[in-house]
Structures are given as structure tokens and as C-alpha cells.
């Protein structure tokens, strides 16, 4: 049997404060009906003043480590790598992962951030899994965490309806290719010609290389919804098909597709492209919105907590996001000790 990275822990965290569609409609020219019918979202969680991405990442990471402890009955001190997917780091520099690792008491482990917006978790998973199979790491904590509420334009009804804050995490350990939980393959890609479709223009070296403050509003996140919608459907469908071919599964053999929770209409369109039945598609975006890098692990957590995702299920993960970027991963779902969900 060849060495593989095996998923053995799962956790997630959401900030306490819930913003309902009605609350948004009281502030902006929108309605519960518009948001529900155009996106499938009913509410989202947002951080409190002073709360940041690292706080959510630490809470989700702690829960995933506890889950791994319960699953494998092993101490955390085997963790030698922390990979944090985020596009809303606590600061532009240094990376947020070392602070998260430190606050989790993981000592001097290797740690770094991965930036691939909504595809961040799949990229981080592929990076950590590859480091484990290469023998560079033995046990990794992989976290997806974002607080997009901190970079949204308060007057933008579209992005404020869609995005929510959160964090999700998994633990990977070294194991063997045939085990449940072993990551069976990845498909990753990008298309930089779409850089401007999902972006924060200011705050980076390009804007800062010109003396003077950023133009008004350029520090906010912007998204061109229609082309993003089209590309999300196309790229997640194509990436899923590529990976299924490589892994040797037909779409009918997949029990659960856990796609990036961007918009229920995007999930349904991907389902249509792939020929999936509704029961194969996992969706939790009605309760959390689009939580960016946290989206896929939070959907996994909710699907496990709700009994929808069971040990032995063939699972396909697929994501799409800014960059543009996309990525998919496949595994057979393992038996996990997940404890009580943290909100």
C-alpha cells in the first residue's frame, strides 16, 4: 500500500451574531424574497467588532483537533503542519497561520497561509496532503477561515446578501491509500484573465506603489456576479468531471457532492451539468451564506451533524473562486468522532 493523507478530524465555528435577510432589507434596497429566490440564502453569521479571521480559525481548529483525538485516540503533538486558507488574513503580513498554530498550542510547527479565495480550502487540502504523501509532514491541520463582512461595501446589496463569516477545519494524518478517509486525488486550476471579476483593488503593492491614498471604495470587495455565476458552473462541473475520470467513479457512484456554497442556483446548475440527483448535493448555504474558504468544511460538518454524510460514502468536493481558481478532491468518508457542533 502506498502512503496517503487520511482525513481523521473535522470541526467548524461560526460567529454568534446572525444577520437575517429581513435585517439587510431594513438597511438596503433588497428583500427576503429576492435573496431567497436568487441565492437560496436565508441568513449569515458575522463577526463582532474586534473579532477576526484568526479567532474563528482557532475555534474551528481546536474542534478539529478534538475530533481527531477522539477518532484516532492520539495526542495532538503529532501535528507538524498548519495550513490556513484565507483571503481575509488578520494583517497583510505576516501570515495568519503562525498565530493560529501558536494559540492552539502546537509549538514550532510549519505554518503558512494559502490564498485562493473560495477555492482556498481545496488548494490548502491538496498542499497539506501532498506534503504528507511526500513525507515532509506527518499530521496536518487544514483550516479554511474568512471574515468577508470586514471587507464588504456596506452599501452593496449584492455582496452583503451573499457573504457570511466562518471557519471550518480538518485534520489529515499519514496513512495508507486503501483506508477510508484517504484523499484519492485532486484536480486544480486557475485562469488569471478573470482577476478583476472577484477582487479587492486597493491594499496591495500595485495600488501602494503610487503615492497617496486609495480611491474611494477601492478597499472594498467587488464581484461581477453574472460572469462569475457562469464560470462557477462551468469550472466546478469540468473540474469534477476531470477528477471523477481520474479516480474512476461515475457520477452515479458518488454519494455526496460537497460543492462551494455560493448560490443554490449554482449548485443546482452544477448538478444538472453532472447529471446528479438532488439527494447527492449537500447544501447548507441557507443558514450560513457563502463563507468563502470555510464553505466546504462547514458544509461537511453540517452534513455529518445532520446524518446526511455517512461513513463509507463516496464524496466529491469541488470549489470555485477568485483568481479565478477552481479545484476538486475525492475521498471515501471515514468514521469520525465529531462531538457537538460549535454553533
Residues engaged in binding ligand COA (CB under 6 A)? 30, 34-35, 38-39, 118, 157-158, 161-162, 223, 225-226, 228-229, 232, 262-263, 266, 290, 320-321
d(CA 54, CA 187) in angstroms, rounded, equals: 28
Catalytic residue among 45, 260, 263, 284: 260
Query: What minimum distance in Å lies between the beta carbon of 222 and ligand COA?
Result: 11
8 is an active site residue: no
Query: What minimum distance in Å lies between the beta carbon of 36 and ligand COA?
Result: 11
Query: Which residues face 189 on adjacent strands?
Result: 326
Query: What minimum distance in Å lies between the beta carbon of 54 and ligand COA?
Result: 22
Closer to ligand COA by CB, 244 or 259: give it.
Answer: 259
263 is an active site residue: no
Question: Comparing C-alpha atoms, which of 19, 35, 50, 288 is closest to residue 154?
Answer: 19
- Judged by DSSP in three states, 68 sits in helix
293, 146 contact by CB (below 8 A) = yes
Closer to ligand COA by CB, 296 or 315: give it.
Answer: 296
Question: Comparing C-alpha atoms, which of 298, 308, 294, 238 is closest to residue 270?
Answer: 238
Query: What minimum distance in Å lies between the beta carbon of 51 and ligand COA?
Result: 23
Closer to ligand COA by CB, 130 or 268: give it.
Answer: 268
Question: Comparing C-alpha atoms, which of 230, 268, 257, 203 is closest to residue 40?
Answer: 268
Catalytic residue among 8, 21, 45, 118: 118
Query: What minimum distance in Å lies between the beta carbon of 292 and ligand COA?
Result: 7
What is residue 304's DSSP assignment? H
Closer to ligand COA by CB, 39 or 86: give it.
Answer: 39
d(CA 120, CA 227) in angstroms, rounded, equals: 20
Closer to ligand COA by CB, 37 or 74: give it.
Answer: 37
Q: What angle do CA 46, 236, 168 make, to 5 degrees?
A: 35
DSSP string computed for 113-163: EE--GGGHHHHHHHHHHHHHHTTS-SEEEEEEEE-GGGTS-TT-HHHHHHB
260 is an active site residue: yes
- The catalytic residues are 118, 260, 290
Amino acid at each position: 500500500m502506498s502512503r496517503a493523507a487520511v482525513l481523521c478530524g473535522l470541526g467548524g465555528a461560526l460567529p454568534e451574531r446572525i444577520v437575517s435577510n429581513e435585517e439587510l432589507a431594513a438597511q438596503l434596497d433588497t428583500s427576503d424574497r429576492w435573496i431567497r429566490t436568487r441565492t437560496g440564502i436565508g441568513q449569515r453569521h458575522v463577526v463582532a467588532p474586534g473579532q477576526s479571521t484568526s479567532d474563528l480559525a482557532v475555534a474551528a481548529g481546536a474542534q478539529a483537533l478534538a475530533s481527531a483525538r477522539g477518532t484516532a485516540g492520539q495526542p495532538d503533538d503529532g501535528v507538524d503542519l498548519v495550513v490556513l486558507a484565507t483571503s481575509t488574513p488578520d494583517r497583510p503580513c505576516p501570515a495568519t497561520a503562525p498565530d493560529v498554530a501558536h494559540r492552539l498550542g502546537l509549538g514550532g510547527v510549519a505554518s503558512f497561509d494559502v490564498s485562493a479565495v473560495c477555492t482556498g480550502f481545496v488548494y490548502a487540502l491538496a498542499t497539506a496532503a501532498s506534503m504528507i504523501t511526500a513525507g515532509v509532514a506527518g499530521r496536518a491541520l487544514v483550516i479554511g477561515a474568512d471574515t468577508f463582512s470586514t471587507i464588504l461595501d456596506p452599501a452593496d446589496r449584492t455582496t452583503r446578501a451573499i457573504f457570511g463569516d466562518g471557519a471550518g477545519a480538518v485534520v489529515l494524518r499519514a496513512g495508507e491509500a486503501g483506508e477510508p478517509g484517504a484523499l484519492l486525488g485532486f484536480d486544480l486550476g486557475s485562469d488569471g484573465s478573470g482577476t478583476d471579476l472577484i477582487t479587492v483593488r486597493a491594499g496591495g503593492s500595485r495600488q501602494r506603489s503610487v503615492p497617496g491614498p486609495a480611491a474611494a471604495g477601492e478597499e472594498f470587495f467587488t464581484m461581477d456576479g453574472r460572469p462569475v455565476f457562469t464560470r462557477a458552473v462551468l469550472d466546478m462541473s469540468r473540474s469534477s468531471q476531470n477528477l471523477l475520470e481520474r479516480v474512476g467513479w461515475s457520477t452515479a457512484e458518488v454519494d455526496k457532492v460537497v460543492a462551494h456554497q455560493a448560490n443554490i442556483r449554482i449548485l443546482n446548475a452544477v448538478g444538472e451539468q453532472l447529471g446528479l440527483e438532488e439527494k447527492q448535493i449537500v447544501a447548507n448555504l441557507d443558514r450560513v451564506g457563502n463563507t468563502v474558504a470555510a464553505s466546504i468544511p462547514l458544509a461537511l460538518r453540517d452534513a455529518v451533524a445532520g446524518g446526511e454524510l455517512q461513513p463509507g460514502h463516496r464524496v466529491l468536493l469541488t470549489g470555485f473562486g477568485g483568481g479565478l481558481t477552481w479545484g476538486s478532491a475525492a475521498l471515501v468518508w471515514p468514521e469520525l468522532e465529531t462531538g457537538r457542533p460549535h454553533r
